[in-house]
Amino acid sequence: MSTPPVVRPGEALCRLEDLSDPPSKAFMLQFDDGEEIEIFVVRDGETAFAYVNQCPHQLLPLNWKDDVFLTLDKTRILCVMHGATFRINTGEVLSGPMPGDCALMKVPVTVSNGEIRLAPRNRD
């Protein structure tokens, strides 16, 4: 897979219309101390949600193909490793091999005038 574009807290990720086919896209979030973590953003109608690209089952990346994070019908986030699925707007697990109370780690974003932007601070 290719390396996702690097973004920093507070920066714009992309526009809603950039998320059509697939309706999701990966980024490498880089903090001031140089630490990096891969995230992805998913469009849900006129809004978007972002998560750390790490499945709570075995802490592996969810995708095998660039920017593809959803089921074929595009209604759920999918981990291709063991087939877990997650709700797009909350990240909560819907099916899969782990207990039902776990979820993807959410990354705060805002959507304004079609632009998806990271919150200024994404961690303490």
> Which strands make up the sheet holding 115-118, listed edge to edge?
12-15, 115-118, 109-112
Considering the complex, what minimum distance in angstroms separates the CB of residue 93 from ligand FES? 9
Considering the complex, what minimum distance in angstroms separates the CB of residue 46 from ligand FES? 29
What residue ranges bind ligand FES (CB under 6 A)? Answer: 55, 57-58, 60, 79, 81-82, 84, 96-97
Taking only Cα atoms into account, the Rg of the chain, rounded to an integer number of angstroms, comes to: 14
Of 29 and 84, nearer to ligand FES (C-beta) is 84
Of 5 and 97, nearer to ligand FES (C-beta) is 97
Cβ-Cβ contacts under 8 Å for 34 (sequence gap 6 or more): none
Of 63 and 122, nearer to ligand FES (C-beta) is 63
Asked whether 1 and 53 are in contact (CB, 8 A), the reply is no
**Of the candidates 114, 117, 107, 119, the residue with the CA atom closest to the CA atom of residue 69:** 107
Cα dihedral 56, 24, 89, 111 sign: positive
Considering the complex, what minimum distance in angstroms separates the CB of residue 102 from ligand FES? 10
Of 82 and 121, nearer to ligand FES (C-beta) is 82
Considering the complex, what minimum distance in angstroms separates the CB of residue 30 from ligand FES? 24
